Structure 1
């Protein structure tokens, strides 16, 4: 490995740490991981200091907001470069870049361009906030699902946070979904890595579908058919021997007409096929043809019961 390549890699790593540490919520585990990285070599600290120096952060923030020496001294590092880096770290956490917010309503899917030039496709009832500056670019999925096409026009990676995990990518095409009890990441093309608050760091391959149970469960990676996983981008929901309870939960995300299941027998029935997102009436009609169930109007929705 050449020295130039090593220097470039260190700059990239330092830029990624810069982006991760600017998030509004940084866990103690991520802080500890950063300090371990910085302590590995004086060159790591120097690279991080160079990233911070580009912002001249010590001159941008009033002195009364700078961290105390005691705060820095508790970290077991030596040299002025480390101290300056840590000072910049705490300052940047206190002064996050202003974020733009992108939202969709129930039943709506919409395309946006992020501040860094990356493309964003938002699914129904979803929200993403994103910010970008000369050094870093970050985004956060507050709810729902999103697809990112990351532009590689910048040296720094895009860091996307979803709860307690983050996805880092320089030019990846990937989906992120915040479910009720897990977070899902699907890498469609190029590169992406997933980091968790408890120290997991997984580099994904195209086609990998990662499930991260909340909170802090064991990561599971599968390789399902891409056509089924990405069908939502075309307004289609694909079920493959899916329980009716899970299928109804997914259909309800796309429609103000809510479906409910009144008994356990109906909830455990299995369904397969492709259905239009938000088309609750068509879905119900198909259910009554394929499964032993009936549907009755209840308030602003329909109740599904088993006929067994």
Structure 2
């Protein structure tokens, strides 16, 4: 088993992940850990905070198994490495990369975790965002999730698969490849299965949309017998829309438009005004209400997330509707 603790390939020199591994190992072993210096580094750059979160997620992902013999041995080795590095420093022989490699060696057990540990309990956690809030998540397997505003999902990993259940809203997944553990996202009774790829899933008004950026995903539906019946396999830059018993609709997408929400922009393509307003409401405390025949007007264009006033004014300027302002609300209705 000892060979499993060799340090993984080092990340790019000077990267935030490299620094985070170094800080983690210093704090864990008590070797040359400077709390003030750590806080200064952590708040210096958003990427530093994200890298530290990834390091924490790796360790926290072991849950009750942190005391497992394999991990305990790895931590003991880290302390031995730290003491050896300290002796080399006093002799003028130590290198910063040596200390970092020691930290990465301990964190490297996460890469070999499926071989080292057979957990009895699953990793499980729920995440949610409020109006106007987006959140970047790092999962214990190395996958990353961008959770859109006003969205929620729960994550559960076990020895057979990685499970994500969408409650509502939208999320973008960058899945770490693991052929032995498929990554499944469930939205209502629809299931997206991936091994290593990037895609988004949106659940809104009982309609599920899956948009593939790169890689390949299988989209299916859970049948009465509990098995997943495959509906389609998407290729990059394809989108599938599933709504009740209606036939699935597959189409090509423009990545600059369909993934614009990740950059704070919302793109509408011939969408009913009521639906477009509902999307805008995810990003602003100023609520847009659409009433009467105005709900059926179809709109196209790109708008900045959170700019409800600008959106409502643009609609009022180009379409035969009226705009009424209230306390934290905008009402769009038929003119006259």
Alpha-carbon offset, residue 96 of structure 1: 7.5
**Ranges in structure 1 where 5+ consecutive residues have no aligned partner:** 1-94
1:80-159 aligned at under 5 Å gives the runs 97-153=122-178, 155-159=180-184
Determine if contact 2:214/2:237 at 8 Å carries over to the other structure. yes
User: Which residue does 2:287 correspond to in 1?
Assistant: 258
Partner of 2:172, secondary structure, is strand
SS in 1 for 2:325: strand
2-structure distance, mates of 1:235, 1:258: 18
Distance in structure 1 (CA, Å) of the matches to 2:318 and 2:330:
17
CA distance in 2, matches of 1:286, 1:217: 33
Q: Is the 8 A contact 2:193 2:218 kept in 1?
A: yes
The 5-angstrom pairing of residues 223-262 of structure 1 reads: 223-262=252-291
Distance 1:143 1:263 in 2: 26
2:235 corresponds to which of 190, 205, 222 = 205
Unaligned runs of 5+ in 2: 1-119, 224-228
Cα distance change, pair 299–96 in 1 and its aligned pair in 2 (3 A): farther
Q: CA deviation at 1:298?
A: 3.5
Decide whether aligned partners of structure 1 residues 240 and 137 sit closer, same or farther in structure 2, where only a CA change above 3 A counts.
closer
State the Cα deviation string for residues 29-52 of structure 1 (Å, max 9, x = none).
xxxxxxxxxxxxxxxxxxxxxxxx
Deviations 1:153-186 (A, max 9, x none): 5632111111101111011100000010311101
2:248 to 181, 201, 219: 219
> Any runs of at least 4 consecutive aligned residues in structure 1 with deviations exceeding 4 A, and if so which?
none
Spell out the pairing of 1:1-308 with structure 2 (5 A cutoff): 97-153=122-178, 155-198=180-223, 199-214=229-244, 216-264=245-293, 266-307=294-335
Q: Distance in 1 between matches of 2:273 and 2:155?
A: 35
Mapped to 2, the partners of 1:272 and 1:104 lie a distance apart of 26
Structure possessing the higher relative contact order (Cα contacts under 8 Å, 6 or more residues apart): 1
TM-score (norm 2): 0.59
Aligned partners of 1:103 and 1:127 also within 8 Å: yes
Look up the SS of the partner of 2:211 in the other structure. strand
SS at 2:280 equivalent: helix
Could you tell me which residue of structure 2 aligns to residue 74 of structure 1?
none
TM-superposed CA distance for 1:101, in Å, is 1.2
1:131 and 1:186 mapped to 2: Cα distance? 22
Separation of aligned partners in 1, 2:221 and 2:266: 28
User: Does the Cα contact within 8 Å between 2:159 and 2:181 map onto a contact in 1?
Assistant: no
1:289: Cα distance to partner?
A: 2.1
Cα distance in 1 for partners of 2:334, 2:246 equals 34
Quick one: distance in 2 between partners of 1:218 and 1:272? 25
**Paired residue secondary structure (2:132):** coil
Q: In structure 1, what is the Cα distance between the partners aligned to 2:296 and 2:184? A: 38
Q: How far off is 1:133 after superposition? A: 4.0
- Give per-residue Cα distances to partners, 1:86-112, cap 9 Å, x unaligned: xxxxxxxxx973511111111111100
TM-score (norm 1): 0.64
| Alpha-carbon separation, structure 2, partners of 1:252 and 1:210 | 24
| Structure 1 residues 170-219: Cα deviation after superposition (integer angstroms, max 9, x where no partner) | 111000000103111011100111110243342211112111112x4321
Pairwise CA RMSD: 1.9
